[in-house]
Amino acid sequence: MAGEQSFKAVVNDTNPSAGGRAFSVDISGSNYNHFLGKKIGDGVDGMFVGEGDQSLTGYKLEITGGSDLTGRPMRPDLDGGGVKSVLITAGVGYKGKKYVKKKGKTYRYKYDGLRRRRNLRGNVISQDTRQINLKIVEAGKRPLGVIFGLEEEVAAVEQSSGEEE
């Protein structure tokens, strides 16, 4: 599997009844090629996420971020797919805290205007990207819990038939 490229897609369920649950899916093969060149904020059809019965057909997704092999985050305001050294304040890629030791204890301070230079990845998905974060914009017919096997489909059918009456 060394020659085959793949992404790990983390799909965030935005439905309030799901409680903010996230699902992890591997993307490889022709679906992998579909994501190359896309930017943060672009929409994607759900049929390219997952394979076979676990495909998210009928879902519309939006790319919200990602990271590369070393864990370096993608930043939406950096153009391109390469690594750039950026002086940033608190936000994506830097929490903006300074740790100070006093009398044997460690204290965490958040100063105004604290900036650091960090190496961050651009907003374009490239072959160096290993994780893509996605959120649901439009839901499909089947709930995500049923698609990924966490809930039984019979329970979902009973709930939907109860709503119709």
Q: Please tell me the predicted confidence (pLDDT) of residue 158.
A: 52
For 73-91, how does the pLDDT look when each residue is reduced to its tens digit (9 = 90+)? 999 999 988 999 999 888 8
Per the model's pLDDT, the better-predicted residue between 51 and 85 turns out to be 85
Q: Is 52 helix (H, G, I), strand (E, B) or coil?
A: helix
Query: Which among 10, 3, 120 has a CA at the least distance from the CA of 68?
Result: 120
Q: How far is CA 59 from CA 14, 70, 77, 154, in A?
A: 12, 30, 26, 21
For 2-18, how does the pLDDT look when each residue is reduced to its tens digit (9 = 90+)? 557 888 989 888 877 77
Distance CA 47, CA 56 (A): 5
Query: Which among 27, 41, 47 has a CA at the least distance from the CA of 142?
Result: 47
Mean pLDDT, the chain, rounded, equals 83
State the pTM of this model: 0.77
SS3 content of the chain, % helix, strand, coil (to 5): 20, 40, 40
Residue 74's CB is within 10 A of a number of other CB atoms, namely 27
